[in-house]
Protein backbone atom coordinates (compact mmCIF):
# COMPACT_ATOMS: atom_id res chain seq x y z
CA UNK A 1 0.00 0.00 0.00
CA UNK A 2 2.83 2.41 0.82
CA UNK A 3 4.26 1.81 -2.65
CA UNK A 4 0.92 2.62 -4.30
CA UNK A 5 0.60 5.81 -2.26
CA UNK A 6 4.16 6.83 -3.12
CA UNK A 7 3.65 6.05 -6.81
CA UNK A 8 0.54 8.21 -7.10
CA UNK A 9 1.64 10.79 -4.52
CA UNK A 10 -1.44 10.14 -2.44
CA UNK A 11 -1.63 10.99 1.21
CA UNK A 12 -3.76 9.18 3.77
CA UNK A 13 -7.09 10.80 4.58
CA UNK A 14 -7.05 13.24 7.46
CA UNK A 15 -9.67 13.64 10.15
CA UNK A 16 -12.13 16.42 10.83
CA UNK A 17 -9.87 18.39 13.17
CA UNK A 18 -6.99 18.37 10.71
CA UNK A 19 -9.29 19.27 7.80
CA UNK A 20 -10.84 22.12 9.74
CA UNK A 21 -7.41 23.47 10.73
CA UNK A 22 -6.33 23.31 7.08
CA UNK A 23 -9.40 25.28 5.97
CA UNK A 24 -8.87 27.86 8.71
CA UNK A 25 -5.29 28.41 7.54
CA UNK A 26 -5.87 28.31 3.79
CA UNK A 27 -9.29 29.89 3.26
CA UNK A 28 -8.23 33.50 3.96
CA UNK A 29 -5.37 33.09 1.48
CA UNK A 30 -7.70 31.82 -1.26
CA UNK A 31 -10.30 34.51 -0.56
CA UNK A 32 -7.69 37.26 -0.82
CA UNK A 33 -6.30 35.74 -4.01
CA UNK A 34 -9.77 35.64 -5.57
CA UNK A 35 -10.50 39.22 -4.55
CA UNK A 36 -7.19 40.44 -5.96
CA UNK A 37 -8.25 38.95 -9.30
CA UNK A 38 -11.57 40.79 -9.11
CA UNK A 39 -13.61 37.63 -8.52
CA UNK A 40 -16.79 37.86 -6.49
CA UNK A 41 -19.18 35.14 -5.30
CA UNK A 42 -22.09 34.42 -7.63
| Per-residue pLDDT tens digits for 3-38 | 776 678 777 778 899 989 999 999 999 999 999 999
Torsional sign, CA 26, 32, 34, 39: positive
pLDDT attached to residue 38: 95
pLDDT attached to residue 27: 95
C-alpha radius of gyration, the chain, whole number:
16
pLDDT attached to residue 5: 66
pLDDT attached to residue 14: 85
CA–CA separation, 31 and 21 (whole Å): 16
The DSSP line for 1-42 is: -HHHHHHHT------HHHHHHHHHHHHHHHHHHHHHTT----
CA–CA separation, 34 and 29 (whole Å): 9
Structure pTM?
Answer: 0.55
Amino acid sequence: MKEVLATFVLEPAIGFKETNALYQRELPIWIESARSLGLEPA
